[in-house]
Amino acid sequence: MNIPRQLRGLAYQAFYGLPLPARRQLARLISPKYLVGAVAIVLDSEAPEPGRILLLRQPPGRGWGLPAGLLKRRELPAVGAARELFEESGVRVEPGDLTPGVPNAVIHPNGGVVDTVWFVSLPASRTPTSVDGGEVLEAGWFPLDDMPPLTYPTERLLGIYGLGPRAGELPPSVPATGSSGDDSTPGETSR
């Protein structure tokens, strides 16, 4: 639907003329709703190329995934990623040790969740894992070029960052505007 420019301008003037509480309520009614999650991509800092990654197998156990979960109300995304990583794998990191992925927010394949993505590199030999056997069945470090079967959301998300079996594919959530031309590693921003 193509709204004439003048009519659109009048609509915006009317909207901004409303009291702030009314504008917020109207925006909530017409805006899409998303849950916000946090995902931790944990790479082994000691592994030779192509590297290793920490993966989790959760019920029903049909594929391996990444430490992830929904943010709590008012929880900062890096704090949520560190919390989920610890709850699901027993690996404790400080939120400040996490590096935001680029892009940092990715729409989950189901369309109702926006995942914030965080990277951290840890020495696997000195990073024990511990799972509860309920929410997470097992955790393990896997070579990036020989991963076990992944869940579709994990395969897709890793592919966005040039990792895993879908590396190099541009999923629909990433605009194809060309490469940045930098040599940064996944999740790293160039300065």
Helices 5-17, 20-30: axis angle to 10 degrees equals 130
pLDDT of residue 54: 98
**pLDDT tens, residue by residue, 117-167:** 999 999 999 999 999 988 999 999 999 999 999 999 999 999 999 999 988
pLDDT of residue 174: 54
Say if residues 26 and 18 touch (Cβ distance below 8 Å).
yes
Residue 188 per-residue DSSP state: P
Q: Could you tell me where the DSSP H helices lie in 2-123?
A: 5-17, 20-30, 77-89
> Using CA of residue 174, residue 178, residue 184, residue 190, what is the dihedral sign?
negative
Q: Is position 176 within any domain?
A: no
CATH number of domain containing 106: 3.90.79.10
pLDDT of residue 172: 52
pLDDT of residue 169: 79
Q: Is position 21 within any domain?
A: no
The residue range of the domain holding 76 is 36-160
Q: Is position 20 within any domain?
A: no
pLDDT of residue 6: 84
Number of domains present in the structure of the chain: 1
* pLDDT tens sequence for the chain (191 residues): 567 888 888 888 888 899 999 998 988 888 888 899 999 999 999 999 999 999 999 998 789 999 999 999 999 999 999 999 999 999 999 999 999 999 999 988 778 899 999 999 999 999 999 999 889 999 999 999 999 999 999 999 999 999 999 888 765 555 555 544 444 444 443 32
| Cα 181 off chain centre by | 23
Q: Is position 97 within any domain?
A: yes
Q: Is position 5 within any domain?
A: no
Q: Is position 92 within any domain?
A: yes
Q: Is position 83 within any domain?
A: yes
